[in-house]
């Protein structure tokens, strides 16, 4: 069975601090996809990144970076120099390759509060 764990329920940081959101996943599949989504108070899930299981290169996009380590089944997300607008709930998700994107398994989410 697939499972995604986000051990941090809530995190509060002061603006300009760096923050890392942890994600640990479980799957028996050898091919799968990992995602991060942001959910602002308005409710919609905003896509941030997709990573397939064969691509362990870390990725940086502006202030965002992702560290995928297959050996520890982790896909952590770091925000550098956080801003108030980063305040939201962040979800890590897993999807089987065979049913591409059909059935996301989401973690419970981490609520990030960035204080001014």
Give the residues lining the site for other proteins (CB under 8 A): 4, 33, 37, 42-47, 50, 91, 93, 99-109
Q: Provide, rounded to whole angstroms, the least separation between the CB of residue 70 and other proteins.
A: 19
Q: Decide whether 41 or 62 has the Cβ nearer to other proteins.
A: 41
3-state helix, strand, coil in the chain (%, to 5): 5, 55, 40
Q: Provide, rounded to whole angstroms, the least separation between the CB of residue 47 and other proteins.
A: 7
Q: Decide whether 17 or 103 has the Cβ nearer to other proteins.
A: 103
- Considering only CA atoms, which of 88, 87, 63 is closest in space to residue 77? 63
| 31 alpha carbon, distance to own chain's centre | 18
Q: Provide, rounded to whole angstroms, the least separation between the CB of residue 49 and other proteins.
A: 11
- Considering only CA atoms, which of 79, 93, 97 is closest in space to residue 16? 79
Q: Decide whether 19 or 38 has the Cβ nearer to other proteins.
A: 38
The residue to which tokens 């120099």 are assigned: 81
Q: Is residue 92 within 8 Å of 43, Cβ to Cβ?
A: no
Q: Provide, rounded to whole angstroms, the least separation between the CB of residue 46 and other proteins.
A: 8
Q: Decide whether 68 or 107 has the Cβ nearer to other proteins.
A: 107
């Amino acid at each position: 069975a697939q499972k995604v764990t986000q051990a941090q329920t809530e995190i509060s940081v002061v603006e300009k601090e760096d923050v890392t959101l942890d994600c640990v996943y479980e799957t028996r599949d050898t091919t799968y996809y990992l995602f991060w989504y942001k959910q602002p108070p308005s409710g919609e899930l905003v896509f941030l990144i997709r990573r397939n299981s064969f691509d362990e290169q870390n990725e940086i996009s502006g202030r965002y970076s992702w560290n995928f380590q297959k050996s520890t089944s982790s896909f952590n997300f770091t925000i550098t120099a956080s801003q108030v607008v980063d305040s939201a709930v962040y979800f890590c998700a897993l999807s089987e390759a065979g049913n591409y994107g059909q059935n996301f398994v989401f973690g419970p989410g981490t609520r990030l509060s960035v204080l001014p």
